[in-house]
Chains A and B, each alone.
Chain A
């Protein structure tokens, strides 16, 4: 078991023949992901990496039965690509592209919701179900199979956490990089119940950062609905207010969105909050020992 994606998932790539799209599609295929085709307008009919290329997502869906799309198009074309996927009946779009305008994502997200399409990202490493399916840019070998679910706003902190979990002798069910932009698709609040319902997931690691209040919403949800242990780290305790820390959404506005308030809310919800990200693995070992 796992959440959202597994070895049965049929995936197409939007921006398939581009440099990034090609490179990562190939890596995903090597991991075992069923990449069944791709979309590059104007290159329909070609074969790329042994898979068919289509002009439109609708054609790709009709021909391959794909339900997931991995999006690698340049930032200016992200909203168009997301809306095309939603219109074609894709059920999950994983948006890897970094740098999409916030206004575009506002429209694209609203449209995706209207069309019942789930989205992950943008500006994220993607999603991986260990040993089954990798849809994104993460190094697959770190994610050994196990019983820990992982949700993170940051790419490299996802790798860091998974690595620590594995070094402690545990492994990952599914890891989801939700992205650090101001407007993102699936968030903690939507992913936590999926991990709660997944029998193979025994504990959850949640990596947040400064800016916005998704972690506060997550804390409220955990308090009411999550029975599995959660270990959390919030990046940016030492970040100054009013400065954007790399991610477009990582900014403390006035006194809102600080690491401190998020850590307090999570602690009050019964979450094991670590102050140093170097302690994530140890904290997981500790909570797993109590199960």
Chain B
């Protein structure tokens, strides 16, 4: 789960990670009020969406008068902001963050994430602030300094020194940097964060460090104990069909092909997409129905898959283990009674009681259900059906 920049900064403030002052606004008038409250003579109007690259997309702009704050807020609010992370359709901007201007002397990058190979968090810093860190890693990897932090000992001053000296900071600024980095590590650990990215981290004219931007993502498995983070969830930033699927214990991700897939298990679900691709088709979605594959979840799965008008055929691929195939077969038949399935459904059931399951499907006499014998056969039949063959 991700949160907005202004929400991440709220968490930062609680841990004394310095950020510029700012207020959230939902209308141009609120934006002006926010600017007046902040005072000063220069403000930044920042679109709040869950995607990076907002500045390049025209979602972050500088204002030198409250009138300009008003005009920019009006321009940005309601726009479909397109960045390299949103896809070509962009994302609707529903709120803007009005922030005081900062006296920027130098920009850096600072990030924290889990290093899966080391099995501990790593903090990364770079002098190439404001650039996409993936590009820096690709073009000039020597400009990224990394420290791994053993969770059993936590963040130590030496971690901070290694980063600070690596960035070439003068000795008198190192103390402030260590304090900043140490507080950030605490934000990360205390909230079960998956990643924090500050790009840019800026040094101001008076030698202070400020998080000018803030991006945070969280471990979904830990949300049950992160009430504050949960309250920050913005459902309007997420795919509506994915949220609905989640309610029924289904894991769904929309793709751009025309062969719908319903599979038990995440690995087999990906493998099924790959098989469809291998057989010359394009998968319309990832869908893991989980362990039970009951009539109700299968029916819900059909509903969700068929919300996508591109879907021309559905491949149901269930490997029955603990869940018996005959029960799944009955579930599929029930599901076609609960919901209207108007495309060919190719069903491959293998594993426990697969033979009984095939009989049940054949005897049901449902015209648009086509039985398949194995994974390749099912994928081939589904691809052919989607092509109208």
Contacts and interface: CB of A to CB of B under 8 A. Distances in A.
Interface stretch (B62-70, B269-277, B295-303): B269-277
A160 interface: yes
Contacts of B222: 101-104
A162 B206 CA distance: 65
A275 B276 CA distance: 11
Given A159-B319, A277-B375, A209 B221 contact: no
A207 B267 contact: yes
A100 B221 CA distance: 6
Interface string B307-340: 0000000000001111000000000000000000
Given A102-B221, A138-B321, A277-B271, A249 B116 contact: yes
Interface string B266-305: 1111110111111100110010100000000000000000
Contact of B152 (A110, A249, A254, A279): A110
A110 B277 contact: no
A128 to B, nearest CB: 11
A153 B266 CA distance: 10
A76 B265 contact: no
B119 A156 contact: no
Interface in A156-173: 156-160, 163
B351 A246 contact: no
A183 interface: yes
Interface in B239-263: 251, 253, 255, 263
Contacts of A157: 265, 267-268, 271
A250 B220 CA distance: 13
Nearest to B350: A163
A108 to B, nearest CB: 10
B114 interface: yes
Interface stretch (A29-37, A58-66, A191-199, A230-238): A230-238
Interface in A232-264: 233, 235-240, 242-243, 245-250, 254-255, 259
Contacts of B189: 103
A247 B266 contact: yes
Contact of B268 (A107, A137, A160, A279): A160
Interface residues of B, number: 55
A182 interface: yes
B29 interface: no
A157 B272 CA distance: 10
Interface stretch (A44-52, A81-89, A210-218): A210-218
A213 B266 contact: no
- Does more than half of chain B's interface fall in helix, strand or loop, or is it mixed? mixed
B114 A182 contact: yes
B106 to A, nearest CB: 25
Contacts of B221: 75, 99-102, 248
B157 interface: no
Contacts of A107: 151-152
B119 A237 contact: no
Contact of B116 (A152, A209, A212, A233): A212
A213 to B, nearest CB: 6
A18 interface: no
B352 interface: yes
A137 B321 contact: yes
A211 B225 CA distance: 26
17 contacts: A75-B224, A99-B221, A103-B219, A110-B119, A142-B321, A156-B265, A156-B319, A158-B267, A160-B268, A160-B375, A235-B270, A238-B270, A240-B255, A246-B288, A247-B266, A248-B220, A278-B275
Given A182-B114, A235-B268, 19 more contacts: A76-B225, A101-B219, A103-B151, A109-B119, A142-B351, A155-B267, A158-B267, A212-B116, A213-B116, A239-B273, A245-B269, A247-B267, A249-B116, A275-B274, A276-B275, A276-B279, A277-B268, A277-B375, A278-B275
Interface of B: 85, 114, 116-117, 119-120, 134, 137-138, 150-152, 189, 192, 194, 219-222, 224-225, 251, 253, 255, 263-271, 273-279, 282-283, 286, 288, 319-322, 350-352, 374-376, 379
